[in-house]
Structure 1
Amino acid sequence: MLIDLHTHTRPLSWDSYLDPDELVERSRAAGLDGICLSEHDFFWKPEEILALAKRHSYLVLPAIEINTDDGHILAYGLEKYVYGMHRSHELAHHIDEAHGVMIAAHPYRRQMPWYIESELDYQEALERAARNRAYQYCAALEAINGRGSDKENEFSQRLCELMAMPGTAGSDAHARIDIGRCATEFERRITTIEELIEELKANRFRPVELVKAATPY
Protein backbone atom coordinates (compact mmCIF):
# COMPACT_ATOMS: atom_id res chain seq x y z
CA MET A 1 0.00 0.00 0.00
CA LEU A 2 1.53 3.31 -1.13
CA ILE A 3 0.97 6.35 1.10
CA ASP A 4 2.52 9.79 0.73
CA LEU A 5 3.35 10.78 4.31
CA HIS A 6 4.34 14.38 3.54
CA THR A 7 2.18 16.85 1.59
CA HIS A 8 1.16 20.51 1.78
CA THR A 9 -1.93 22.39 0.57
CA ARG A 10 -3.19 25.95 0.59
CA PRO A 11 -4.24 27.93 2.52
CA LEU A 12 -2.90 26.22 5.67
CA SER A 13 0.61 25.92 4.18
CA TRP A 14 1.41 29.40 2.94
CA ASP A 15 4.07 28.17 0.49
CA SER A 16 1.90 25.56 -1.24
CA TYR A 17 0.18 26.01 -4.60
CA LEU A 18 -1.98 22.90 -4.22
CA ASP A 19 -5.71 22.81 -3.67
CA PRO A 20 -6.62 19.87 -1.38
CA ASP A 21 -9.08 18.35 -3.85
CA GLU A 22 -6.53 18.61 -6.64
CA LEU A 23 -3.89 16.93 -4.47
CA VAL A 24 -6.22 14.00 -3.80
CA GLU A 25 -7.22 13.62 -7.45
CA ARG A 26 -3.65 13.77 -8.73
CA SER A 27 -2.35 11.46 -6.00
CA ARG A 28 -4.90 8.85 -7.01
CA ALA A 29 -3.95 9.30 -10.67
CA ALA A 30 -0.28 8.80 -9.72
CA GLY A 31 -1.11 5.39 -8.28
CA LEU A 32 -1.01 6.29 -4.60
CA ASP A 33 -3.43 4.64 -2.19
CA GLY A 34 -3.53 7.50 0.30
CA ILE A 35 -1.96 10.71 1.57
CA CYS A 36 -1.23 12.50 4.81
CA LEU A 37 -1.88 16.24 5.01
CA SER A 38 1.10 17.64 6.92
CA GLU A 39 0.77 21.41 6.86
CA HIS A 40 3.39 23.70 8.39
CA ASP A 41 2.54 24.11 12.09
CA PHE A 42 -1.21 23.96 11.40
CA PHE A 43 -3.76 21.20 11.85
CA TRP A 44 -6.71 20.42 9.68
CA LYS A 45 -10.03 20.17 11.51
CA PRO A 46 -10.95 16.45 11.79
CA GLU A 47 -14.34 17.00 10.18
CA GLU A 48 -12.72 18.71 7.18
CA ILE A 49 -10.36 15.79 6.58
CA LEU A 50 -13.25 13.35 6.86
CA ALA A 51 -15.26 15.40 4.37
CA LEU A 52 -12.34 15.52 1.92
CA ALA A 53 -11.79 11.77 2.19
CA LYS A 54 -15.49 11.03 1.78
CA ARG A 55 -15.83 13.39 -1.17
CA HIS A 56 -13.22 11.41 -3.10
CA SER A 57 -13.61 7.97 -1.48
CA TYR A 58 -9.88 8.15 -0.79
CA LEU A 59 -7.61 7.68 2.23
CA VAL A 60 -6.69 11.07 3.69
CA LEU A 61 -5.01 11.11 7.10
CA PRO A 62 -4.05 13.98 9.44
CA ALA A 63 -0.46 14.95 10.19
CA ILE A 64 1.59 18.06 10.78
CA GLU A 65 5.11 19.29 9.97
CA ILE A 66 6.44 21.11 13.01
CA ASN A 67 9.38 23.48 12.85
CA THR A 68 11.50 22.62 15.89
CA ASP A 69 14.82 23.95 17.10
CA ASP A 70 16.35 20.70 15.82
CA GLY A 71 14.75 20.69 12.36
CA HIS A 72 11.38 19.87 10.83
CA ILE A 73 9.47 16.97 12.35
CA LEU A 74 6.51 15.13 10.83
CA ALA A 75 4.10 14.22 13.62
CA TYR A 76 1.22 11.76 13.45
CA GLY A 77 -1.44 11.34 16.12
CA LEU A 78 -1.69 14.90 17.44
CA GLU A 79 -4.83 17.03 17.16
CA LYS A 80 -3.71 20.53 18.14
CA TYR A 81 -0.60 22.66 18.31
CA VAL A 82 0.59 23.48 21.82
CA TYR A 83 3.16 26.14 22.58
CA GLY A 84 6.49 24.51 23.28
CA MET A 85 6.27 21.97 20.47
CA HIS A 86 9.12 23.82 18.79
CA ARG A 87 11.32 22.04 21.33
CA SER A 88 11.75 18.44 20.20
CA HIS A 89 11.69 16.97 23.71
CA GLU A 90 8.39 18.72 24.49
CA LEU A 91 6.94 17.63 21.15
CA ALA A 92 7.98 14.07 22.01
CA HIS A 93 6.16 14.36 25.34
CA HIS A 94 2.92 15.32 23.58
CA ILE A 95 3.43 12.54 21.04
CA ASP A 96 3.85 9.99 23.83
CA GLU A 97 0.68 11.20 25.54
CA ALA A 98 -1.23 10.89 22.25
CA HIS A 99 0.35 7.50 21.41
CA GLY A 100 1.55 9.05 18.18
CA VAL A 101 4.78 8.89 16.22
CA MET A 102 7.46 11.26 14.90
CA ILE A 103 9.52 11.18 11.69
CA ALA A 104 12.41 13.54 10.93
CA ALA A 105 11.65 15.37 7.67
CA HIS A 106 14.38 15.95 5.05
CA PRO A 107 17.25 15.34 7.51
CA TYR A 108 19.82 16.54 4.97
CA ARG A 109 18.73 20.15 5.49
CA ARG A 110 21.22 22.27 7.43
CA GLN A 111 23.27 19.12 8.05
CA MET A 112 24.67 18.05 4.68
CA PRO A 113 27.81 19.98 3.68
CA TRP A 114 27.57 21.73 0.31
CA TYR A 115 31.26 21.25 -0.44
CA ILE A 116 32.90 17.96 0.46
CA GLU A 117 36.66 17.66 0.18
CA SER A 118 36.96 14.06 1.34
CA GLU A 119 35.01 11.02 2.47
CA LEU A 120 36.27 11.78 5.97
CA ASP A 121 34.56 15.19 5.89
CA TYR A 122 31.37 13.55 4.68
CA GLN A 123 31.51 10.92 7.42
CA GLU A 124 32.07 13.59 10.06
CA ALA A 125 29.02 15.47 8.77
CA LEU A 126 26.95 12.29 9.06
CA GLU A 127 28.18 11.74 12.61
CA ARG A 128 27.29 15.32 13.56
CA ALA A 129 23.82 14.85 12.08
CA ALA A 130 23.39 11.60 14.01
CA ARG A 131 23.78 13.58 17.23
CA ASN A 132 20.67 15.64 16.45
CA ARG A 133 18.65 15.66 19.68
CA ALA A 134 15.32 15.13 17.94
CA TYR A 135 16.24 11.81 16.36
CA GLN A 136 16.16 9.90 19.64
CA TYR A 137 12.40 10.49 19.66
CA CYS A 138 11.77 9.57 16.01
CA ALA A 139 10.59 6.22 14.70
CA ALA A 140 12.21 6.90 11.32
CA LEU A 141 14.02 9.41 9.15
CA GLU A 142 12.67 10.61 5.82
CA ALA A 143 15.14 8.78 3.56
CA ILE A 144 13.62 10.07 0.32
CA ASN A 145 12.17 13.55 0.00
CA GLY A 146 10.46 14.24 -3.31
CA ARG A 147 11.94 17.72 -3.55
CA GLY A 148 15.44 16.66 -2.58
CA SER A 149 18.25 16.02 -5.03
CA ASP A 150 19.94 12.64 -5.42
CA LYS A 151 22.86 13.91 -3.33
CA GLU A 152 20.60 15.20 -0.58
CA ASN A 153 18.58 12.01 -0.38
CA GLU A 154 21.77 9.95 -0.43
CA PHE A 155 22.89 11.83 2.68
CA SER A 156 19.59 11.00 4.38
CA GLN A 157 19.87 7.34 3.40
CA ARG A 158 23.43 7.06 4.66
CA LEU A 159 22.31 8.70 7.89
CA CYS A 160 19.64 6.02 8.23
CA GLU A 161 22.32 3.37 7.78
CA LEU A 162 24.66 5.00 10.29
CA MET A 163 21.93 5.25 12.91
CA ALA A 164 20.35 1.89 12.05
CA MET A 165 17.01 3.66 11.63
CA PRO A 166 14.27 2.88 9.10
CA GLY A 167 13.54 5.33 6.31
CA THR A 168 10.31 6.68 4.88
CA ALA A 169 9.54 8.58 1.68
CA GLY A 170 7.32 11.60 1.17
CA SER A 171 6.84 13.91 -1.78
CA ASP A 172 6.81 17.09 0.33
CA ALA A 173 4.41 18.22 -2.39
CA HIS A 174 3.85 21.96 -2.72
CA ALA A 175 2.98 21.98 -6.44
CA ARG A 176 1.56 19.67 -9.10
CA ILE A 177 4.99 18.61 -10.32
CA ASP A 178 5.83 17.21 -6.87
CA ILE A 179 2.91 14.78 -6.62
CA GLY A 180 3.72 11.10 -6.94
CA ARG A 181 7.51 11.40 -6.91
CA CYS A 182 7.85 9.02 -3.99
CA ALA A 183 5.84 7.32 -1.26
CA THR A 184 6.11 4.92 1.63
CA GLU A 185 5.05 1.36 0.87
CA PHE A 186 3.35 -0.44 3.75
CA GLU A 187 3.08 -4.19 4.10
CA ARG A 188 -0.42 -4.07 5.55
CA ARG A 189 -3.58 -2.26 4.58
CA ILE A 190 -4.14 1.03 6.41
CA THR A 191 -7.51 2.74 6.85
CA THR A 192 -7.04 4.94 9.94
CA ILE A 193 -4.42 7.15 11.55
CA GLU A 194 -4.16 4.64 14.40
CA GLU A 195 -3.27 1.87 11.94
CA LEU A 196 -0.71 4.13 10.26
CA ILE A 197 0.96 4.84 13.59
CA GLU A 198 0.98 1.15 14.46
CA GLU A 199 2.67 0.23 11.17
CA LEU A 200 5.25 3.00 11.51
CA LYS A 201 6.14 1.87 15.02
CA ALA A 202 6.35 -1.75 13.84
CA ASN A 203 8.68 -0.81 10.95
CA ARG A 204 6.51 -2.58 8.37
CA PHE A 205 7.28 -0.21 5.52
CA ARG A 206 9.92 0.90 3.04
CA PRO A 207 10.65 4.08 1.06
CA VAL A 208 9.88 3.96 -2.66
CA GLU A 209 11.06 6.42 -5.31
CA LEU A 210 8.53 6.61 -8.14
CA VAL A 211 9.65 9.58 -10.26
CA LYS A 212 12.96 11.38 -9.95
CA ALA A 213 12.84 15.06 -9.05
CA ALA A 214 14.04 17.54 -11.63
CA THR A 215 17.07 19.09 -9.92
CA PRO A 216 20.16 20.87 -11.21
CA TYR A 217 22.55 18.28 -9.74
Structure 2
Amino acid sequence: MSDLERMIIRSPRKTEKGFLVDMHIHSHFSSDSFLRFEEILLEAAFTINGIVITDHDIIGSFHLDKNTIEKEHEIVVFAPAVEISSTEGHILAYGIASVPSRELEPEEVLRIIHDEKGLAVAAHPFSELGVGDLVYDLPFDAIEINGARPASDNQKAKEAATLLELPMVGGSDAHIHGEIASCVTQFRKKIQTMDELIAEVKKGRCQPLMLR
Protein backbone atom coordinates (compact mmCIF):
# COMPACT_ATOMS: atom_id res chain seq x y z
CA MET A 1 0.00 0.00 0.00
CA SER A 2 1.35 3.42 -0.98
CA ASP A 3 1.71 6.38 1.39
CA LEU A 4 -1.08 8.13 -0.51
CA GLU A 5 -3.45 5.17 -0.10
CA ARG A 6 -2.73 4.99 3.64
CA MET A 7 -3.39 8.71 4.01
CA ILE A 8 -6.71 8.50 2.14
CA ILE A 9 -7.90 5.62 4.32
CA ARG A 10 -7.30 7.83 7.37
CA SER A 11 -9.16 10.79 5.83
CA PRO A 12 -12.76 11.62 6.78
CA ARG A 13 -15.48 10.84 4.24
CA LYS A 14 -17.90 13.45 2.90
CA THR A 15 -19.92 13.89 6.09
CA GLU A 16 -20.19 17.69 6.34
CA LYS A 17 -23.43 19.28 5.12
CA GLY A 18 -23.41 21.47 2.05
CA PHE A 19 -21.23 21.36 -1.05
CA LEU A 20 -17.54 21.45 -0.16
CA VAL A 21 -14.94 22.94 -2.50
CA ASP A 22 -11.22 23.43 -1.90
CA MET A 23 -10.67 26.72 -3.72
CA HIS A 24 -6.86 26.88 -3.47
CA ILE A 25 -4.75 23.90 -4.59
CA HIS A 26 -1.40 23.88 -6.39
CA SER A 27 -0.42 21.23 -8.92
CA HIS A 28 2.98 20.42 -10.41
CA PHE A 29 2.46 23.38 -12.77
CA SER A 30 3.52 25.47 -9.75
CA SER A 31 7.27 25.26 -9.24
CA ASP A 32 6.87 24.74 -5.48
CA SER A 33 4.25 21.95 -5.66
CA PHE A 34 4.81 18.22 -6.00
CA LEU A 35 1.17 17.26 -6.65
CA ARG A 36 0.22 15.60 -9.93
CA PHE A 37 -3.33 16.28 -11.06
CA GLU A 38 -4.43 12.65 -10.83
CA GLU A 39 -3.12 12.48 -7.27
CA ILE A 40 -5.08 15.60 -6.33
CA LEU A 41 -8.26 14.06 -7.71
CA LEU A 42 -7.73 10.78 -5.88
CA GLU A 43 -7.16 12.47 -2.54
CA ALA A 44 -9.84 15.15 -2.85
CA ALA A 45 -12.68 13.02 -4.21
CA PHE A 46 -12.71 10.92 -1.07
CA THR A 47 -13.37 13.93 1.15
CA ILE A 48 -14.98 16.85 -0.72
CA ASN A 49 -17.21 17.65 -3.68
CA GLY A 50 -15.10 19.99 -5.78
CA ILE A 51 -11.65 21.46 -6.35
CA VAL A 52 -10.07 24.51 -7.93
CA ILE A 53 -6.47 24.39 -9.15
CA THR A 54 -4.86 27.79 -8.58
CA ASP A 55 -1.28 27.50 -9.75
CA HIS A 56 1.19 30.36 -9.50
CA ASP A 57 0.87 32.64 -12.53
CA ILE A 58 -0.12 29.84 -14.91
CA ILE A 59 -3.33 28.13 -15.96
CA GLY A 60 -2.67 24.43 -16.61
CA SER A 61 -4.27 22.43 -19.42
CA PHE A 62 -5.88 19.76 -17.20
CA HIS A 63 -9.27 21.49 -17.35
CA LEU A 64 -9.58 20.61 -21.05
CA ASP A 65 -10.70 17.09 -20.05
CA LYS A 66 -13.04 18.39 -17.36
CA ASN A 67 -16.11 16.29 -18.28
CA THR A 68 -14.19 13.02 -18.43
CA ILE A 69 -12.38 13.78 -15.18
CA GLU A 70 -15.61 14.55 -13.32
CA LYS A 71 -17.27 11.31 -14.43
CA GLU A 72 -14.30 9.16 -13.51
CA HIS A 73 -13.62 10.71 -10.10
CA GLU A 74 -17.09 11.90 -9.00
CA ILE A 75 -15.77 15.37 -8.21
CA VAL A 76 -16.38 18.75 -9.83
CA VAL A 77 -13.36 20.58 -11.25
CA PHE A 78 -13.90 24.34 -11.38
CA ALA A 79 -11.74 26.08 -13.99
CA PRO A 80 -10.02 28.27 -14.96
CA ALA A 81 -8.37 29.88 -11.95
CA VAL A 82 -4.92 31.12 -10.97
CA GLU A 83 -2.96 32.66 -8.10
CA ILE A 84 -1.48 35.87 -9.46
CA SER A 85 1.70 37.39 -8.06
CA SER A 86 1.07 41.13 -8.02
CA THR A 87 3.73 43.61 -6.97
CA GLU A 88 2.19 43.78 -3.49
CA GLY A 89 1.11 40.19 -2.85
CA HIS A 90 -0.87 37.21 -4.09
CA ILE A 91 -4.36 37.49 -5.54
CA LEU A 92 -6.63 34.55 -6.39
CA ALA A 93 -8.47 34.98 -9.69
CA TYR A 94 -11.39 32.77 -10.67
CA GLY A 95 -12.96 32.68 -14.11
CA ILE A 96 -10.32 34.55 -16.12
CA ALA A 97 -9.00 33.26 -19.43
CA SER A 98 -5.37 34.38 -19.26
CA VAL A 99 -2.75 35.41 -16.74
CA PRO A 100 -1.66 39.06 -16.55
CA SER A 101 1.97 40.03 -16.14
CA ARG A 102 3.45 39.37 -12.69
CA GLU A 103 4.75 42.94 -12.65
CA LEU A 104 1.32 44.54 -12.37
CA GLU A 105 0.15 46.54 -9.39
CA PRO A 106 -2.72 44.88 -7.48
CA GLU A 107 -5.14 47.60 -8.61
CA GLU A 108 -4.47 46.67 -12.23
CA VAL A 109 -4.78 42.94 -11.50
CA LEU A 110 -8.21 43.51 -9.95
CA ARG A 111 -9.28 45.63 -12.91
CA ILE A 112 -8.36 42.84 -15.32
CA ILE A 113 -10.20 40.23 -13.25
CA HIS A 114 -13.33 42.35 -13.02
CA ASP A 115 -13.22 43.27 -16.72
CA GLU A 116 -13.49 39.53 -17.40
CA LYS A 117 -16.33 39.25 -14.84
CA GLY A 118 -14.13 37.06 -12.67
CA LEU A 119 -13.83 36.75 -8.92
CA ALA A 120 -10.97 38.51 -7.11
CA VAL A 121 -10.03 37.05 -3.72
CA ALA A 122 -7.36 38.27 -1.33
CA ALA A 123 -5.20 35.18 -0.82
CA HIS A 124 -3.91 34.69 2.74
CA PRO A 125 -3.94 38.51 3.02
CA PHE A 126 -2.04 38.83 6.28
CA SER A 127 0.74 36.37 5.50
CA GLU A 128 4.14 37.47 4.23
CA LEU A 129 2.91 36.82 0.66
CA GLY A 130 -0.44 38.57 1.03
CA VAL A 131 -1.51 42.11 0.21
CA GLY A 132 -1.78 43.02 3.89
CA ASP A 133 -3.69 46.17 4.79
CA LEU A 134 -4.27 46.90 1.11
CA VAL A 135 -7.23 44.57 1.50
CA TYR A 136 -8.99 47.53 3.11
CA ASP A 137 -8.38 49.80 0.11
CA LEU A 138 -8.88 47.56 -2.93
CA PRO A 139 -12.17 46.23 -4.39
CA PHE A 140 -11.78 42.54 -3.57
CA ASP A 141 -14.86 40.34 -3.92
CA ALA A 142 -13.94 38.05 -1.02
CA ILE A 143 -11.23 37.26 1.50
CA GLU A 144 -9.59 33.87 1.94
CA ILE A 145 -9.25 31.80 5.09
CA ASN A 146 -6.20 29.64 4.41
CA GLY A 147 -5.50 26.14 5.67
CA ALA A 148 -1.72 26.56 5.45
CA ARG A 149 -1.50 29.74 7.53
CA PRO A 150 -1.47 30.23 11.30
CA ALA A 151 -4.65 31.00 13.21
CA SER A 152 -3.46 34.55 13.89
CA ASP A 153 -3.30 35.33 10.16
CA ASN A 154 -6.75 33.87 9.59
CA GLN A 155 -8.19 35.80 12.52
CA LYS A 156 -7.00 39.06 10.95
CA ALA A 157 -8.56 37.96 7.67
CA LYS A 158 -11.88 37.25 9.40
CA GLU A 159 -11.81 40.65 11.10
CA ALA A 160 -11.13 42.37 7.78
CA ALA A 161 -13.96 40.50 6.04
CA THR A 162 -16.37 41.38 8.84
CA LEU A 163 -15.41 45.05 8.80
CA LEU A 164 -15.60 45.25 5.01
CA GLU A 165 -18.75 43.11 4.86
CA LEU A 166 -17.12 40.78 2.34
CA PRO A 167 -17.72 37.05 1.88
CA MET A 168 -15.07 34.61 3.07
CA VAL A 169 -13.88 31.54 1.18
CA GLY A 170 -11.70 28.67 2.31
CA GLY A 171 -8.79 26.97 0.60
CA SER A 172 -6.06 24.57 1.68
CA ASP A 173 -3.21 26.15 -0.33
CA ALA A 174 -2.04 22.56 -0.72
CA HIS A 175 1.37 21.89 -2.24
CA ILE A 176 1.95 18.33 -0.95
CA HIS A 177 -0.06 15.24 -0.01
CA GLY A 178 -2.00 15.52 3.21
CA GLU A 179 -2.74 19.23 2.81
CA ILE A 180 -5.64 18.96 0.36
CA ALA A 181 -9.05 19.89 1.88
CA SER A 182 -7.59 21.06 5.18
CA CYS A 183 -9.73 24.17 4.66
CA VAL A 184 -12.61 24.40 2.20
CA THR A 185 -15.50 26.59 1.12
CA GLN A 186 -18.90 25.31 2.19
CA PHE A 187 -21.63 26.26 -0.29
CA ARG A 188 -25.29 26.04 0.59
CA LYS A 189 -26.22 24.16 -2.58
CA LYS A 190 -24.62 22.03 -5.26
CA ILE A 191 -22.80 24.01 -7.93
CA GLN A 192 -21.45 22.73 -11.24
CA THR A 193 -19.71 25.56 -13.07
CA MET A 194 -17.24 28.34 -12.43
CA ASP A 195 -19.95 30.89 -13.20
CA GLU A 196 -22.12 29.38 -10.47
CA LEU A 197 -19.22 29.37 -8.02
CA ILE A 198 -18.50 33.04 -8.70
CA ALA A 199 -22.16 33.98 -8.35
CA GLU A 200 -22.60 32.13 -5.05
CA VAL A 201 -19.49 33.70 -3.53
CA LYS A 202 -20.46 37.20 -4.62
CA LYS A 203 -23.90 36.70 -3.06
CA GLY A 204 -22.27 35.54 0.17
CA ARG A 205 -23.90 32.11 0.09
CA CYS A 206 -20.83 30.32 1.36
CA GLN A 207 -18.47 30.15 4.32
CA PRO A 208 -14.97 28.85 5.09
CA LEU A 209 -14.72 25.55 6.92
CA MET A 210 -11.63 24.04 8.56
CA LEU A 211 -11.71 20.25 8.20
CA ARG A 212 -8.45 19.61 10.06
TM-score range, shorter chain: 0.7 to 0.9
Partners of 2:36 and 2:102 in 1: CA distance:
30
Moved more, 72-81 or 82-91: 82-91
Measured at CA, do residues 178 and 15 of structure 1 come closer, stay the same or move farther in structure 2, by a change above 3 Å?
A: same
Moved more, 164-173 or 151-160: 151-160
2:139 alignment counterpart: 137
SS of 1:75's equivalent in the other structure is: strand
Shift of 1:27: 0.9
- Structure-to-structure mapping, 1:89-168, within 5 angstroms: 89-110=107-128, 129-130=132-133, 132=134, 136-142=138-144, 144-168=145-169
Structure 2 segments unaligned to the other structure (5+ residues): 1-18
1:179 alignment counterpart: 180
Alignment TM-score, normalising by the size of structure 2: 0.82
Partners of 1:86 and 1:133 in 2: CA distance:
16
Partners of 1:82 and 1:167 in 2: CA distance:
24
1:47 to 50, 53, 64: 64
Structure 1 segments unaligned to the other structure (5+ residues): 113-127, 212-217
Alignment TM-score, normalising by the size of structure 1: 0.80
Shift of 1:171: 0.3
SS of 1:39's equivalent in the other structure is: coil
Partners of 1:153 and 1:89 in 2: CA distance:
23
Shift of 1:165: 2.1
1:14 alignment counterpart: 31
Give the counterpart letter for 2:48 in structure 1.
L
Aligned CA-pair RMSD: 2.3
1:204 alignment counterpart: 205
Give the counterpart letter for 1:16 in structure 2.
S
CA contact 2:85–2:102 (8 Å) conserved in 1: no
Give the counterpart letter for 2:86 in structure 1.
T
CA contact 1:84–1:90 (8 Å) conserved in 2: no
Shift of 1:85: 6.9
Partners of 2:114 and 2:84 in 1: CA distance:
16
CA contact 2:45–2:73 (8 Å) conserved in 1: no
Tell me how many residue pairs correspond in the alignment: 192
Measured at CA, do residues 111 and 192 of structure 1 come closer, stay the same or move farther in structure 2, by a change above 3 Å?
A: closer
Partners of 2:143 and 2:137 in 1: CA distance:
8
Instruction: Spell out, residue by residue over 1:148-167, the C-alpha distance to the aligned partner (whole angstroms, 9 max, x if none).
Output: 11222222222222333221
CA contact 1:85–1:91 (8 Å) conserved in 2: no
CA contact 1:88–1:134 (8 Å) conserved in 2: no
Measured at CA, do residues 173 and 111 of structure 1 come closer, stay the same or move farther in structure 2, by a change above 3 Å?
A: closer
Measured at CA, do residues 135 and 187 of structure 1 come closer, stay the same or move farther in structure 2, by a change above 3 Å?
A: farther
Shift of 1:182: 1.1
Give the counterpart letter for 2:95 in structure 1.
G
Give the counterpart letter for 2:138 in structure 1.
Q
